[in-house]
Amino acid sequence: MRRFSTYGVALATCGLILSACGTAADNEDSTDDSAAPSCDPVQIEGDPNVGLAYDVGGRGDQSFNDSAYAGLEKAIADFNVPYIEGEAAQDESEDVREERLRTFADEGRNVIVGVGFAYSTAVDTVAPDYPNVAFAVIDGFDPTEDDVNCNVAYLGFAENEGSFLVGAAAASQSESGTIGFVGGVNNQLIQKFEAGYVAGAEAVNPDIEVITTYLEETDTKGFQDPAGGQAAAAAQYDEGADIVFHAAGASGTGVFDAAVASGKWAIGVDSDQFLTAGPEQAPRILTSMLKRIDTATYEFIKSVVDGEPDQGFTTFTLADDGVGYSTSGNFLTPETIATIEDYKEQIIAGDLEVPTAP
């Protein structure tokens, strides 16, 4: 059974935040090579020079942005590429994002990565003006649909598959039979996390109760609201949940604080958050849903270094370790891990299809 609640609903319309609330999931048909336009390889000018534009929260969020930086760090170590980082501000406009990307390109950055779907429109607007710059968008979607930019790589993930695994873990180790999900923003991307999590939990226990709370309906500040995350998770714990999974960016630190206060469990997201959480929080993080933004960032930079920049749509799945789960802390029992691994094999083999929408 799934119970839905809303915390701090924003009044902004979808169009103010991202084009029609779209995500990479909206353009799954575009991954069909037969339907994609024919593109010549991007020819950058000079040696690779990276610009990494962060999403709201920036480096230090212990989640989404930090994972992208980890990929950049590995590329710096392996290829000695020069780089620059750009921080996003709360509630900034498309014009501001576009200007950040143009500044990177005008300064000679010929490998530019926008971290997060919010950069999709800005990248698609700017990219045609810089045909010798290789652009990528993490969680990117093409707003124009009919006119994909050949010098843009849209890097998506099967978040539903990784979330299925941690949902199975939650149901396997829940003692109350009630678990929770806290999403930062109620859009199609975060709904993929919810859909997989609920499906995985119900696969283990069809009678499991899942309480779902979104911090914001459209406003991206839902990804940078630790107080809101703490309040939402605390309410779920009070309603009987003993494990809460967050897909809420920096707001997830509040979820961890609520887990500490209640003495219950939380599940991290994107990176292995047991490794970056504080000493009080880490012992309450059961597992994390790994979304290998570091891998996507690194592989895109590597593709440019190798002279064959990635183009078009790429989805990182369980099959190529693009998503997964963590075992740091050894909180998952051997029986739970065996259950998760069984489901993982079924998903990779195509015997189990994970929903992408709640």
**pLDDT of 241 over the 80 cut:** yes
Contact status, residue 140 vs residue 24, Cβ threshold 8 Å: yes
Span 178-191, pLDDT tens digits: 999 999 999 999 99
**pLDDT of 7 over the 50 cut:** no
**pLDDT of 10 over the 50 cut:** no
Nearest to 111 by CA among 145, 77, 72, 140: 72
- Please state, as a whole number, how many other Cβ atoms lie within 10 Å of the Cβ of residue 7: 19
pLDDT-wise least confident of 146-155, 182-191, 271-280:
146-155
Can you tell me the mean pLDDT for 252-276?
96
- Please state, as a whole number, how many other Cβ atoms lie within 10 Å of the Cβ of residue 283: 13
246: which residues sit within 8 A by CB, 6+ positions away?
Answer: 181, 182, 183, 184, 229, 233, 252, 255, 266, 267, 268, 269
Contact status, residue 336 vs residue 167, Cβ threshold 8 Å: no
Can you tell me the mean pLDDT for 351-357?
97
H-helix segments, the chain: 14-17, 64-79, 94-106, 120-126, 159-173, 188-204, 226-238, 252-262, 293-305, 334-349
pLDDT grade for 88, boundaries at 50, 70 and 90:
confident
**pLDDT of 272 over the 60 cut:** yes
* Predicted local distance difference test score (pLDDT) of residue 143: 59
Distance CA 137, CA 280 (A): 34
- Please state, as a whole number, how many other Cβ atoms lie within 10 Å of the Cβ of residue 279: 6
Measured between alpha carbons, how far is residue 343 from residues 178, 201, 271, 339, 350 in Å?
21, 11, 21, 6, 11
* Predicted local distance difference test score (pLDDT) of residue 19: 28
Can you tell me the mean pLDDT for 195-223?
96
**pLDDT of 130 over the 60 cut:** yes
Residue with tokens 């029609």: 20
Token output for 3: 């119970």
Measured between alpha carbons, how far is residue 251 from residues 11, 73, 150, 181 in Å?
19, 24, 35, 13
> Same CATH fold, 14-158+294-319 and 2-12+159-291+322-349?
yes
pLDDT grade for 28, boundaries at 50, 70 and 90:
very low
Nearest to 113 by CA among 81, 145, 144, 91: 81
pTM of structure? 0.81
Measured between alpha carbons, how far is residue 157 from residues 21, 52, 161, 259, 266 in Å?
17, 19, 9, 27, 22
pLDDT grade for 17, boundaries at 50, 70 and 90:
very low
Domain 2-12+159-291+322-349: assigned CATH number = 3.40.50.2300
pLDDT grade for 144, boundaries at 50, 70 and 90:
low
* Predicted local distance difference test score (pLDDT) of residue 13: 28
124-131 long-range contacts, Cβ below 8 Å, gap at least 24?
124/149, 124/152, 125/94, 125/98, 126/98, 126/101, 126/102, 127/151, 127/152, 129/102, 129/105, 130/105, 131/42
State the architecture of 14-158+294-319 in CATH terms: 3-Layer(aba) Sandwich (3.40)
Can you tell me the mean pLDDT for 345-352?
98
pLDDT grade for 6, boundaries at 50, 70 and 90:
very low
Nearest to 118 by CA among 266, 4, 222: 222
* Predicted local distance difference test score (pLDDT) of residue 99: 96
Percent of the chain having pLDDT more than 90? 75
Percent of the chain having pLDDT more than 70? 88
pLDDT grade for 2, boundaries at 50, 70 and 90:
low
Q: Provide the residue ranges of all domains of the chain, joining segments of one domain with +.
A: 2-12+159-291+322-349, 14-158+294-319
Can you tell me the mean pLDDT for 307-326?
94
pLDDT grade for 59, boundaries at 50, 70 and 90:
confident
